[in-house]
Chain A
Amino acid sequence: MAALSEEQSLIRDQAKSWVSEKAPVRKFREMRDARIGQAYAPEAFSAMVDMGWTGILVPEAYGGSDLGYLTFGLILEELGRQLTASPLLASGLVGTSAILLGGNEEQKQAWLPNLVDGSAILTLAVDEGPRHAPEKTALAASASGDGFVLDGSKVGVLEGMAATAFVVAARTSGEPGSDQGISLFLVPADAKGVTRSARVTADSRGYADVTFAKVEIGSDALLGSLDEGFELLDTLLDRGRAGLAAEMLGIAGGAFAMTLDYLKTRKQFGRVIGSFQALGHRAADMYSGMELARSCVEAALAAIDADAGNVAELCSLAKCKMGDHLHLVSNELIQMHGGIGMTDEYDAGFYLKRARAMETIYGNQAFHRERYARLLGY
């Protein structure tokens, strides 16, 4: 754990106790069983809004508390621990960051207060194929009158069914594959021509495939500069990646705590299975991996707060190391639990399924290793 300020400790403790009292993994199970449409409990998100969590990144002038990404990460970690479902990451972090990074003064005033009070849910629509590849954006935005017309589709949009609006990565010039010619647009979910369908995934969370058919938007919908939106998109994605990594830290922590508890209580061959060295050493590896991954995640979040020069490098490092670690821990969770880990009645499976989703979103480990190598210049 980073050397936290007293304030950060308070926020983390608040998140920890709220999550374990009001939104434990049992609630997630109830939601999964009820198959509710937006894939999170609206009252849980309202409670988060009331606690000020949606305002953590937002300057006080727009109704937030401006406490920064490291603080936000502490909350996400606690949510991850119990798999608490909400659009806090998709909208409170990614959508909000989009406005903070790319919005002009009018856009900030129009969006930030609504994001803070939870009336707006703004999420990023970026991927168009099965693999994360933002430079391959093909969804077309063509100039028309004094606005644009969007044509194309996006897949796997986080909390896409609940979103009231999307940040859409679109191609305004050039060819898919080029990082030139990409622009970002703010598109209301109820705009004419926008249709969405729920994507039913193994992790039982909210995703949508969204189609934009001749969607007309005004010039004020442009976020950042025309044709030169890739840098903004990449910076935005990095913030999302750091946030994902923070939540993954909690998921891995929760999975490891379950595993360790099981190792200390399950008996076979007349002894507690944690006394077997073959398991003890693997537990030691997981613990060590967690400490190393945590350092990367906290460094990435702190670098964003400090506006450091190596944010991109650290975010890829964090997402990749955290992804590798969560991958290992989620598999060991099932293996060390044996048969009971395979049953739906037990929570282990939820963690495994969520782990793979989190690894995939905004670039898996291979994506970030490739990016890291490019950033280092080899």
Chain B
Amino acid sequence: MRTTQGIREHRERVMTATATRTDQGSDIEAFRADVRSWLADNFPSALQGVPPAMEGASEGKHAADMERWRERLAERGWGAPHWPQVYGGAGLDHAHVRVLAQEMGRAGAINPIPMLAGMGVTMVGPTILEYGTEEQKQRHLPGIASGKVRWCLGLSEPNAGSDLASLGTVAEDRGDHFVVNGQKIWTSGADISQWCGALVRTDKSVAKHKGISFLMLPMDQSGVRTRPIRLISGASPFCETFFDDARAEKDDLLGELNDGWNVIKRLLQHERASQTSAAGPGGRQKPEGLHDIAKRYVGVDTSGRLDDPDLRARLTQHLMDAAAHKLTAERIAAEARGNPEVSAAASIMKNSATGISQARSELMLEIMGQQGLGWEGDVFAADELSTVREWLWGKAISIYGGSAEVQKNIISKNILGLPETTQKG
């Protein structure tokens, strides 16, 4: 049993060990200075706080600046900074990536490449890095990392949503290539993407999880047709995608034939990891705190308390949830030490982030009262109108990427080890 004396001796050893860690710290600070001066030289100031439009940088008054900014980022490999340099990244570890993000945030600079690449940087790319052949990595990753090639994902089908493995889109082996037939739904940005990562059935004779493969399909071919879907928010970020004798080459298979379920499980972990920010549906943190917005609309009593005790209590609950989420994200990052992207906590964090984001939207609507019901017109301010659209769009986030219920299944089975629902004990 250790006594305080023993503890003290041990501490001296620990303190010697921490001395070496400060060397890393100075390297980080040098990198920070480098980023800062590079941003001063290369980030077009006209783009401060300007997010790239969903459809890309080719439109609007900032188009030229945005394209220049994209090119410069891509030159340094900072579009996907954690990827290896040979594939268009910068080979940075987590600590350096964080510094880069902090400095870009400070400068009001937004990295447009992950948005321009669609599902490329966040999901398809990391999966290719893991499962792709050397030839596939060299062929696909640089285009994604530079933001020049946009990817969509063909996963869900009209009859395969949460039960994704029951998908029916078929890829037939024709010797040197595959012929694909079927329909996908909720393919984000399919109408403007150059490539699609699609889950297809390659063996009907085995259990549903075991006959699935992951194919990479070029979208620019006669066998592929897309139709945008209009959502309750009025926006059309998703398409239906129809494959009618579409063609994919043999070497466009990612991972082994019939091993697509493992590929997609990994890809969805990357997706969850990318959805764990509770900053709101748009991924942007509102500069004004929710309680300040509430004070503006609701008013305060003589002692400075929000003039609606019931709202105030629920608002506090929400703000505490958001604080707990943020602290947990920081804790996970600290614990993962360099591998923050994928962890067992992804399901927890996805549900927490979506719950908080949706609760925030509901509170915003409630706080704004009549002003939180607008669809269009001058009687509503721009942020009031966007609140309504974000509220509606936000309903999707607990459905896609594995619904909240699917995440709970994952936690109860994979993390807690509870038995399968169908299993007889």
Instruction: Report Cα–Cα, A280/B418, bound state, in Å.
Output: 7
Partner of A372, one of B10, B295, B320: B320
Taking a contact as CB atoms under 8 Å apart, the answer to whether A264 and B317 are in contact is no
Taking a contact as CB atoms under 8 Å apart, the answer to whether B320 and A280 are in contact is no
Taking a contact as CB atoms under 8 Å apart, the answer to whether B11 and A280 are in contact is no
B interface majority secondary structure: helix
Q: Which residues does chain B contribute within 8 Å of A287, judged by CB atoms?
A: 348, 411, 415-416
Q: Which residues does chain B contribute within 8 Å of A277, judged by CB atoms?
A: 409, 412, 421
Q: Let me know if A14 is at the binding interface, CB within 8 A.
A: yes
Contacts across chains A and B counted by CB atoms under 8 Å: 166
Taking a contact as CB atoms under 8 Å apart, the answer to whether A292 and B328 are in contact is yes
Q: Let me know if A320 is at the binding interface, CB within 8 A.
A: yes
Closest Cβ of chain B to A359, distance in Å, is 15
Stretch of A2-10, A92-100, A205-213, A220-228 with 4 or more beta carbons under 8 angstroms from chain B: A2-10
Taking a contact as CB atoms under 8 Å apart, the answer to whether A280 and B412 are in contact is yes
Instruction: Report Cα–Cα, A6/B408, bound state, in Å.
Output: 33
With A2-B334, A288-B351: A267-B425 Cβ-Cβ less than 8 Å: yes
Q: Let me know if B2 is at the binding interface, CB within 8 A.
A: yes
Closest Cβ of chain B to A188, distance in Å, is 27
With A3-B335, A264-B418: A291-B345 Cβ-Cβ less than 8 Å: yes
With A67-B7, A272-B425, A292-B325: A51-B2 Cβ-Cβ less than 8 Å: yes
- Chain B 208-240 interface mask (CB, 8 Å, partner A; 1/0): 000000000000000000000000000000000
With A65-B7, A372-B320: A378-B14 Cβ-Cβ less than 8 Å: no
Q: Which residues does chain A contribute within 8 Å of B334, judged by CB atoms?
A: 2-3
Q: Which residues does chain B contribute within 8 Å of A234, judged by CB atoms?
A: none
Q: Kindly report which residue of chain A lies nearest to residue B410, judged by CB atoms.
A: A284
Q: Which residues does chain B contribute within 8 Å of A131, judged by CB atoms?
A: none
Q: Which residues does chain A contribute within 8 Å of B76, judged by CB atoms?
A: none
Taking a contact as CB atoms under 8 Å apart, the answer to whether B14 and A52 are in contact is no
Taking a contact as CB atoms under 8 Å apart, the answer to whether A369 and B320 are in contact is yes
Q: Let me know if B331 is at the binding interface, CB within 8 A.
A: yes
Q: Let me know if A295 is at the binding interface, CB within 8 A.
A: yes
Partner of A291, one of B294, B313, B348: B348
Instruction: Report Cα–Cα, A6/B17, bound state, in Å.
Output: 10
With A65-B8, A295-B327, A317-B324: A280-B413 Cβ-Cβ less than 8 Å: yes
Taking a contact as CB atoms under 8 Å apart, the answer to whether B420 and A275 are in contact is yes
Q: Let me know if A1 is at the binding interface, CB within 8 A.
A: yes
Taking a contact as CB atoms under 8 Å apart, the answer to whether B10 and A10 are in contact is yes
Instruction: Report Cα–Cα, A308/B146, bound state, in Å.
Output: 41
Q: Kindly report which residue of chain B lies nearest to residue A5, judged by CB atoms.
A: B14
Instruction: Report Cα–Cα, A103/B363, bound state, in Å.
Output: 46
With A14-B2, A280-B418, A284-B416: A298-B331 Cβ-Cβ less than 8 Å: yes
Taking a contact as CB atoms under 8 Å apart, the answer to whether A373 and B305 are in contact is yes
- Chain B 302-324 interface mask (CB, 8 Å, partner A; 1/0): 00111000001101110111011
Taking a contact as CB atoms under 8 Å apart, the answer to whether A321 and B418 are in contact is no
Taking a contact as CB atoms under 8 Å apart, the answer to whether B348 and A271 are in contact is no
Instruction: Report Cα–Cα, A374/B416, bound state, in Å.
Output: 38
Q: Which residues does chain B contribute within 8 Å of A14, judged by CB atoms?
A: 1-2
With A296-B324, A378-B294: A51-B419 Cβ-Cβ less than 8 Å: no
Q: Give the residue among A55, A275, A370 with the most B Cβ atoms within 10 A.
A: A275
Taking a contact as CB atoms under 8 Å apart, the answer to whether B352 and A276 are in contact is no
Q: Kindly report which residue of chain B lies nearest to residue A13, judged by CB atoms.
A: B2
Q: Let me know if A50 is at the binding interface, CB within 8 A.
A: yes
Instruction: Report Cα–Cα, A291/B3, bound state, in Å.
Output: 31
- Chain A 1-43 interface mask (CB, 8 Å, partner B; 1/0): 1110111001100100010000000000000000000000000
* Interface size grouping (class) on chain B: 35 or more
Q: Let me know if B174 is at the binding interface, CB within 8 A.
A: no
Instruction: Report Cα–Cα, A272/B425, bound state, in Å.
Output: 5
Q: Which residues does chain B contribute within 8 Å of A292, judged by CB atoms?
A: 321, 324-325, 328, 348, 352
With A50-B3, A280-B408, A284-B416: A7-B14 Cβ-Cβ less than 8 Å: yes
- Chain B 161-178 interface mask (CB, 8 Å, partner A; 1/0): 000000000000000000
Q: Let me know if A232 is at the binding interface, CB within 8 A.
A: no
Q: Let me know if B424 is at the binding interface, CB within 8 A.
A: yes
Taking a contact as CB atoms under 8 Å apart, the answer to whether B419 and A11 are in contact is no
Instruction: Report Cα–Cα, A266/B146, bound state, in Å.
Output: 55
Partner of B419, one of A55, A264, A321, A369: A264
Q: Let me know if A353 is at the binding interface, CB within 8 A.
A: no
Q: Which residues does chain B contribute within 8 Å of A288, judged by CB atoms?
A: 348, 351-352, 411
With A280-B408, A378-B300: A295-B331 Cβ-Cβ less than 8 Å: yes
Chain B positions 1-47 with a Cβ under 8 Å from a chain A Cβ:
1-5, 7-8, 10-11, 14, 17
Closest Cβ of chain B to A269, distance in Å, is 9
Q: Kindly report which residue of chain B lies nearest to residue A293, judged by CB atoms.
A: B324
Instruction: Report Cα–Cα, A274/B2, bound state, in Å.
Output: 40
Instruction: Report Cα–Cα, A52/B10, bound state, in Å.
Output: 14
Q: Let me know if A175 is at the binding interface, CB within 8 A.
A: no
Chain B positions 393-424 with a Cβ under 8 Å from a chain A Cβ:
405, 407-409, 411-413, 415-424
Q: Let me know if B286 is at the binding interface, CB within 8 A.
A: no
Taking a contact as CB atoms under 8 Å apart, the answer to whether B1 and A283 are in contact is no
Q: Which residues does chain A contribute within 8 Å of B75, judged by CB atoms?
A: none
Instruction: Report Cα–Cα, A30/B400, bound state, in Å.
Output: 52
Q: Let me know if B59 is at the binding interface, CB within 8 A.
A: no
Instruction: Jot down 16 A-B pairs with beta carbons below 8 A, ordered by A.
Output: A2-B331, A6-B17, A7-B7, A10-B7, A10-B10, A50-B3, A52-B4, A65-B7, A274-B418, A276-B421, A280-B416, A283-B418, A285-B408, A288-B352, A295-B324, A299-B331
Which 5 residue pairs are nearest across A and B when measured between Cβ atoms?
A: A52-B4, A280-B412, A272-B425, A284-B411, A295-B327
Interface residues of B (CB under 8 A from A): 1-5, 7-8, 10-11, 14, 17, 289, 291-292, 294-295, 300, 304-306, 312-313, 315-317, 319-321, 323-325, 327-328, 330-331, 334-335, 337, 345, 348, 351-352, 405, 407-409, 411-413, 415-425
Given contacts A51-B2, A264-B419, A376-B289, 12 further A-B pairs with CB under 8 A are: A2-B335, A3-B331, A52-B3, A272-B419, A276-B421, A281-B412, A284-B415, A284-B416, A288-B348, A292-B328, A320-B320, A369-B316
